[in-house]
Each structure stands twice: as C-alpha cells, then as structure tokens.
Structure 1
Amino acid sequence: MTIVDTSKLHKKELFTRNLTKEQKNLLNNFYLFLKGKRYSQSTIKTYTFFIADFINFYRKTPLNNLTNRAVELFIENVFITRNYSISTQRQFISALKIFIVFYPHTEINDLVLERPKKSRKLPSVLSQEEVLKIISSTQNLKHRAILVLIYSCGLRISE
C-alpha cells in the first residue's frame, strides 16, 4: 500500500502553469534575451520564473493590454497569498522592468513601478542575564576572556 502526501500534491497544483505555445515561445525568447545580456544563471532562472508566473496569472488576457494595475493585482493575489518576502517582491519588479525592455508592447509603465522599501528588522539583543549565563557556562579561560572582551567592546561576529 502506497501512502501519498497530499500536501505536496496541493502545493504542486498551485504552481502548475497552463501556457499557450505562443506564451512558452515568448518565455524562451526572454530567457535567451537574459542570457545574451550576460545575467547569471541564477538570475535568469529567477526572472524567468517570475515572468512565467505573471504571464500564467494573466494567460487569458493579451500582454498588450496589461497595465500597472494588473501588476499590483498580481502582487496582491500571488505574492501576499504565498507569503513571499519583500526582497522577493523587489526581484519580481526588477524582472518585470527587464521584461518591459524585452517586450515593450505592454501598457505597463516601468517608471511608475516602485520597489517596496527593504524591511529593517532590529537584531535580537541578549539580556544581561543571558550574557552572564553564556560567560559563566564557558569552562575554558581563554574562551571566557574572549567572550568578555567581545561583549565589553560591543564587537560584532565579523569583527
């Protein structure tokens, strides 16, 4: 008896694309365009993935009719529901700006497309009790001295 994990099937279902032959050809040409511009393989893969998702989302709408509002709706319906990070959304907008250069027949105005601001998360800081506990739990005297020096000088790991 074989057990099938339905959660994986459900996720795979979400990312299934039903593109026409013309849309696939457009994506292949976009891929070659990026390759010709000497983008890294990782960037090419990421940008092609985002544009494929975008085209798939509007597969019944001609690309010539897409506007900035269509981009906003795509972000609201796809990126937010999939819990993509702000940096991923910024990557999509970069990919879309390059796609507009490649395929300028759309109504999307790349000057109006703005990338969201980077999130500025504060680092988690250890309390004084936690630092004392770390220092006291260290047995090696040299390591303890290094930890005390790092903490007292406010050094970062990279320093």
Structure 2
Amino acid sequence: MTPLRQRMIEDMELRNLSPKTIILYVDNVSRFARHFGKSPEALGPEAIRTYLLYLVQDRQVAWGTYKQVLASLRFLYRNTLHRGEIVHDIRCPRPERHLPEVLSFDEVRRFFQAVHSFKHRTILMTAYASGLRISEAVRLRICDIDSQRMVIRIVQGKGKKDRYTLLSPLLLQMLRYYWWAARPVDWLFLGPSRIKPITVGTVQRVCRDARSEAGLDKAVTPHILRHSFATHLLEAGTELRVIQELLGHASLRTTAIYTHVSTHLIGRTRSPLELLHEQDQTDTLQEDS
C-alpha cells in the first residue's frame, strides 16, 4: 500500500466515513492513477477533466458512477493532498431525473406468493412492511424488534444514523412464527452457516427468481419494495414528514419524489378545467335565478 493511499484511508476514517465508502473512494482513485500511469500527486486539473470526459464519452458510465468518481477525487485533493484548487472549478452535471418504479398492491401480492422459502418471504415482507433498505434488513438482530413499542430499531443505517420505523401487528405475528421455526439467537435472518447473517446477494437473487415466476413485467428488487412502501403510505394519507422519518431520508426533498410517483394521488387531483366548468355552471344558475 502506497503512503498516499494509507494517508487517504486514515483521513476518511477520521471523518467517520463508512467502510463501503472508503473502499469505493480508494478504488476510484486507483483507477484514475492507473489510467495515466502516474501518482495523483503528479496530476492536475487537465488530467481530471480528461479522465472525466473519458468516463462519459468512452466508458459511458451512469451519472451516479460519475458523481462517485468526482466525489472521490474531490476528497483526495481537498482533504489528503490539501490542493483543493485543483478540483475547485469542476462541477457535477445536472443529473438525469428518473422516477422510481413502484409495484401495485396486486403486484406485491403476486410477488410474495412466488417466494416459496418462509425465511426469504419473511425478510422481504419485513423490508416492504417497514421500508427498510436491504442492507438494513439483512443486519437486523432479534433485539431490534421492539414489540412493546411496535417499532423496529435500525442501528447505524445509511449515513451512520440510528432510527426507528414501524412494526405492523401482522409483521410481528409473522416474525414470531419465523422465530419459532428458525430459532435465531442474535442475527434475525441467518445465512447457511447460521453464524453470519444472510447476504444481500442472496436476497437479490430471490427477488429475481420470484419476479420471473410471478410473471411481472416490472423489475423487482428490494429497493423497489422500499419505494412501494413509501408510495403506498402516501396514497393512504400518511404525511410526507412521517414517511421521511420512517425511510431515514436526510432531506424532505428526497421523500417528495413519491408525490410524483403516486398515480392514485394524481388520479384524485381535479383538473382546473373541471373547476372552470363548475364555476361556469354556478354563474349560469345565478344568472337564471
């Protein structure tokens, strides 16, 4: 390991970045250095611009990947090399906006019917019923299920923040059946070794298989179940601020995207043309009387 890489890792640890973020940033900087065959210390603004253009034009990476690379380079030059002027004028492009895909109640029902393993169905229903990220669902412990207060405690979720989300009575009943059958001791959803928790990859594979068996046209991932949780709550009349807390969003703007997704809310919204027509009818009745 080079001294520069070691120093960057230490700088990220001092700022309490997650292990996943540290690995991602180090990998991005390594790719940048290998592209030019030089240490980042010997590269400047023109090299960064050239590399970013290479990612966009030649590699055609997604804008999310582009943003991650740019964030990695910004951290390196600002915090480790203390040469922030090199990345000062490099701006992130306006991101493409894509609305999240959401399942209807019928599609959710068909999906769960196609998940035949009781353990797998339970963890996916937990993710849907409580709006969990899959990384949060697989790392649930028995002690995180608070049946007295009817909440689930999420320990060190995204952004290293704790939060509580709802525990429905139906989910609690299902979890009790699951506990009776599986007898977990610490981790709630165990992997094959019964020592470590089930992996994210396993749950994602189950989603793909169940989606195929259910004959659903939409892609189904654990995160789409989370989107569906938020949209279904919004359509049921839950306040956006409450949904923000349940999801663990730092900004209400992030949660507000579900107002654009809900076709139910859009369908209930009356067009101004209808309001204009009603006003015309009212005016006509007043004139006749």
On whether the aligned pair clears a TM of 0.5, the verdict is: yes
* Gap runs ≥5 in structure 2: 102-106, 108-261, 268-289
Residue 104 of structure 1 aligns to a residue whose secondary structure is coil
Q: TM-score, normalized by length of structure 1?
A: 0.55
Task: Work out which structure has the larger RCO, using CA pairs closer than 8 Å and 6 or more positions apart in sequence.
Answer: 1
CA contact (8 A) 1:27 1:48 kept: yes
* Correspondence for 2:32: 54
Which residues of 2 match residues 2-81 of structure 1 at below 5 A?
A: 24-60=2-38, 63-81=40-58
Identity of aligned residues (%): 16
Runs of 4+ with deviation above 3 angstroms: 62-65, 121-124, 150-153
Deviation string, structure 1 residues 26-67 (Cα, Å, up to 9, x no partner): 21221122112100111111111111111111224x544422
CA contact (8 A) 1:64 1:105 kept: no
CA contact (8 A) 1:51 1:95 kept: yes
| Aligned residues between the structures | 110
The answer to whether structure 1 residue 104 and structure 2 residue 75 are counterparts is: no
CA contact (8 A) 2:41 2:81 kept: no
CA distance 1:55–1:154, change in 2 (3 Å): same
Q: TM-score, normalized by length of structure 2?
A: 0.32
CA distance 1:105–1:59, change in 2 (3 Å): farther
CA distance 1:25–1:118, change in 2 (3 Å): same
Residue 91 of structure 2 aligns to a residue whose secondary structure is coil
* Gap runs ≥5 in structure 1: 1-20, 125-133, 135-149
Over aligned residue pairs, what C-alpha RMSD do you find? 3.3
Residue 154 of structure 1 aligns to a residue whose secondary structure is helix
Which residues of 2 match residues 80-119 of structure 1 at below 5 A?
A: 80-100=57-77, 101-104=79-82, 109-119=86-96
CA distance 1:151–1:72, change in 2 (3 Å): closer
